Structure 1
Amino acid sequence: MQNYRYYGDMTIRELASQCESVDDIQTMIRDLFKDTLQIIFEAEMEHHLGYSKHAVDGIHSGNSRNGYSKKTIKSKFGTTTLDVPRDRNGKFEPQIIKKHETALNGLDHQIIALYAKGMSTRDIEDHMRDIYGISVSPAMVSKVTDKIIPAIYDWHSRPLERVYTIVYLDAIHFKVKQDHRIINKAAYTVLGINTEGMKDILGIWVGENESASFWLSVCNDLKSRGIEDILIACKDGLSGFSEAINTVFPQTRIQLCVIHQLRNSVKYIPTKNRRVFLEDMKKVYKAFTLDQAKLAFEDVKNNWADKYPRVIDSWETNWMELTAYFEYPPAIRKMIYTTNTVEGFHRQLRKVTKSKNAYPTDDSLRKIIYLATMDITKKWNNPIPGWIECKAQLEIMFGDRFTSGYPDKDL
């Protein structure tokens, strides 16, 4: 309080005359910051009690000042120790800095922004020490970032649009600590494209077991949030998904990712034969019509079935879902024969998360995924490339199922 009275009556020119270096300026700003908070504390106490300090109105009022307690806070001005006034009844709660609050909002936002960029706790600690001269513990980083958990649940339960023309599903894997060991957990992403060609992440589910019951709960969740129809669903080899979506959205057409199928196939083929095998398969998935694809696949079977029966059996088992894209014009085929759209999102996500070897909890993983997702999707302001042509074709092929998803349909 002495510093405040010293600085309080001085003009900017007078304040400047007291400074001989940038360090002096920074010290003066810190002192002014502290003194300003002290004045606000006193004003809040005066409002709480209903009378000013030393006023006779306080006699026999039933409550009065009762000294001060020390409180240390961290902000962009460094570490500051404050004297927080107390009242006799113990009812006073400061509003400018809440009880148990040790970091001011500006610092909280800074920590969350650094966390969202994938910086480790150690990196954040070093950054805060170098820039602001304050120590930020791992526990403090966790406490600050925990503030976004309610926002995560709100985002994951937000209302969705009625119709999505294409929905992509894929998984990305992370290492998470659990029961004193590190295990692999999948984050299952659902990316949707609406009738205006705009991309959005509809949800990300972490750590669930992949099964028909799991995907049924996901589909029911999407439906409960307002989705009435999905025209086309593109997936990789997700176990149990086809059964689940056919139950909740029975009209949805399913396309299995051809590129994933090829990747899985070459795992069972020696390196020396892979190039020839892929050239044969290219005649299948690059065919102009389904009939041409069937003829090309017969050649593949004749050439490779005896050597690699497991590979050929997999293609035959999944043939209907692998070739569903032949029903559509080339512009739409290009969009749905692979899940590259959601894989592109995962590549951006991995740029943020690659600095972390393992996450201590599922919540810590959810926090970084959510923050990175918000940062990535804020740039999705335009329809996907080629959407005008695709929109016209989808409108003809799906009719009312497509147009019912227009934003102004009910107007």
Structure 2
Amino acid sequence: MARRKSDSPQKAAMREMMQGYLKENDISIKSGNDVNSIMRDMMSVLLEGALDEELNEELGYSKYDYRNKETDNSRNGHSQKTMRTSYGDMDIAIPRDRKGEYEPQLIPKYQNTVTQDMEEKIISMYAKGMTTGDIEAHLKELYDLDISDSTISRITDKIMPLVKEWQERPLQEIYAVVYMDAIHYHVRSEGRIVKRAVYIALGIDMDGKKDVIGMYVGENEGAKFWLSIINGLKNRGVQDILIACVDGLNGFPQAIEAVYPKTEIQQCIIHQIRNTTNYVSYKDLKKLMADLKMVYAAPDEAAALEELESFGEKWNSKYPKIYKSWSERWATLSTYFKYPNEVRKLIYTTNAIEGFNRQLRKVTKSRTVFPSDDSLLKMLYLATMDITKKWTGRRRDWSQIRAQLEIYFEERLEKAEF
């Protein structure tokens, strides 16, 4: 059994004082509420003592020490203030001076809650998508606090180092699948409202667990931009990505081939189908989609190519762009055909990351324009932390999926000593 360390003189004195306090007042601790009550009393005594010392410093002399008094100002009793704390509400006696010049620094005039507690509340509200103006009004209504939106912004700015640390954190050595997608927002920049893309990378590791491994605010997508992102993943420890799933992002295939040349690329079939319908009149839509389903639902790639040719022969005269689009993108659209059904379901759509994006939009829907890139990133980071804390399990059927991946990517996984 471990022995308790010897108390420091300060801790020993406090222990003796607490034991005496409990004994003299016949107090027994039987529940968490009892602890809260005692902590509330202790905090009240400490705060009142600190405030009295603060006023001593302001006036230049201690209470009743009139010989050292060199001011015509003096004490003028106390005013009561109710403070809201994590231990419950408590009444504090705030000292006053005769001239009304004393402004408490420990508990500012319009503050009636403990700073850290309030900062946590502000950050929590920001994470739920509330604007700084909404938070300001909310604090005024609920707590009668006058906190400006600029102060709220400064409080939320305190998380920026955490955002940077999160963006640069080490990653797994290998990911089975990485989904890439973009979500767009409006941001103020140099007096103008501009459109910003937030590029998101969501990875599934070899244990079947998903995580947001990258989030980047940028202006334009392209090979150069994607190359910087993918190099960033490699610098953070990612040695290999087995399969990358994307929604036709410009420049992505070239960029990932430059960094991870063996990575398989799967373009989202669902997005390709949606883009296809842009060309089709309503009266033809049902028949055309039935013929197109014969392509993407084929049992293997050979059968799919035959169905694609049949589709072209039937519809090229009316909708030549559809066949052309599928043919030109076939190399990245058809990747999933080489795998069993369990892996196909994992990669032929980007539903995993789209679901995450929907949750982000739900949080940010009240924000039509963000004041800066940092404010956008702050909110998305906080929302991401809130969303991903529920991602505790692994993907369903992962044991079977992993066994299949280990067969198809045996050599690469062995090199990674995985």
Query: Could you state the TM-score of these two structures normalised by the residue count of structure 1?
Result: 0.77
What SS does the corresponding residue of 1:196 show, helix, strand or coil? coil
Matches within 5 A, 1:111-260: 111-260=122-271
Q: 2:288 aligns with which of 277, 280, 292?
A: 277
Q: Note if contact 2:52-2:95 (Cα within 8 Å) is conserved in structure 1.
A: no
**How big is each residue's C-alpha offset from its partner over 1:248-288, in whole Å with a ceiling of 9 and x where there is no partner?**
01110101111111111111222222222211111111110
Q: Return the alpha-carbon distance in structure 1 between the equivalents of residues 283 and 192 of structure 2.
A: 39
Aligned partner of 2:357 in structure 1 is 346
Matches within 5 A, 1:242-391: 242-391=253-402
Q: Return the alpha-carbon distance in structure 2 between the equivalents of residues 130 and 192 of structure 1.
A: 42
Q: Return the alpha-carbon distance in structure 2 between the equivalents of residues 154 and 265 of structure 1.
A: 41
Deviation, 1:53, is 6.3
Aligned partner of 1:39 in structure 2 is 49
Q: Which amino acid aligns with 1:159?
A: P
Deviation, 1:128, is 1.4
Q: Return the alpha-carbon distance in structure 1 between the equivalents of residues 142 and 221 of structure 2.
A: 45
Identical-residue share of aligned pairs (%): 44
Q: Return the alpha-carbon distance in structure 1 between the equivalents of residues 82 and 237 of structure 2.
A: 43
Deviation, 1:75, is 7.2
Deviation, 1:158, is 0.2
**How big is each residue's C-alpha offset from its partner over 1:210-245, in whole Å with a ceiling of 9 and x where there is no partner?**
010000000110000000000000001101110011
Q: Mean Cα displacement is larger for which, 209-218 or 271-280?
A: 271-280
Q: Return the alpha-carbon distance in structure 1 between the equivalents of residues 301 and 201 of structure 2.
A: 28
Change (3 A) 1:327 1:136: same
**How big is each residue's C-alpha offset from its partner over 1:29-87, in whole Å with a ceiling of 9 and x where there is no partner?**
999967633523677999x9xxx969x9xx9xxxxxxx99xxxx997469x99789xxx
Change (3 A) 1:109 1:248: same
Q: Note if contact 1:235-1:257 (Cα within 8 Å) is conserved in structure 2.
A: yes
Deviation, 1:142, is 0.6
Contiguous gaps of at least 5 residues in structure 2: 1-20, 26-38, 69-73, 76-80, 97-104
**How big is each residue's C-alpha offset from its partner over 1:95-125, in whole Å with a ceiling of 9 and x where there is no partner?**
x789xx9971110000000110112223322
Q: Note if contact 1:208-1:214 (Cα within 8 Å) is conserved in structure 2.
A: no
Q: Which amino acid aligns with 1:287?
A: A
Aligned partner of 1:401 in structure 2 is 412
Q: Give the root-mean-square deviation of aligned CA atoms.
A: 3.7
Matches within 5 A, 1:81-100: none
Deviation, 1:311, is 2.2
Q: Note if contact 1:75-1:107 (Cα within 8 Å) is conserved in structure 2.
A: no
Deviation, 1:337, is 0.6
Q: Which amino acid aligns with 1:39?
A: G
**How big is each residue's C-alpha offset from its partner over 1:335-388, in whole Å with a ceiling of 9 and x where there is no partner?**
101111100110111111111111111111000100000001111111112212
Change (3 A) 1:336 1:83: farther
Q: Note if contact 1:207-1:362 (Cα within 8 Å) is conserved in structure 2.
A: no
**How big is each residue's C-alpha offset from its partner over 1:289-338, in whole Å with a ceiling of 9 and x where there is no partner?**
11110111011101221222222211111101000110100110011011
Q: Return the alpha-carbon distance in structure 1 between the equivalents of residues 349 and 403 of structure 2.
A: 21
Q: Which amino acid aligns with 1:147?
A: K
Q: Note if contact 2:48-2:93 (Cα within 8 Å) is conserved in structure 1.
A: no
Contiguous gaps of at least 5 residues in structure 1: 1-9, 15-28, 60-66, 85-93
Q: Return the alpha-carbon distance in structure 2 between the equivalents of residues 97 and 146 of structure 1.
A: 22
Q: Return the alpha-carbon distance in structure 1 between the equivalents of residues 216 and 343 of structure 2.
A: 28
Deviation, 1:134, is 0.8
Q: Return the alpha-carbon distance in structure 2 between the equivalents of residues 358 and 81 of structure 1.
A: 44
Q: Note if contact 2:200-2:214 (Cα within 8 Å) is conserved in structure 1.
A: yes
Change (3 A) 1:172 1:45: same
Aligned partner of 1:90 in structure 2 is none
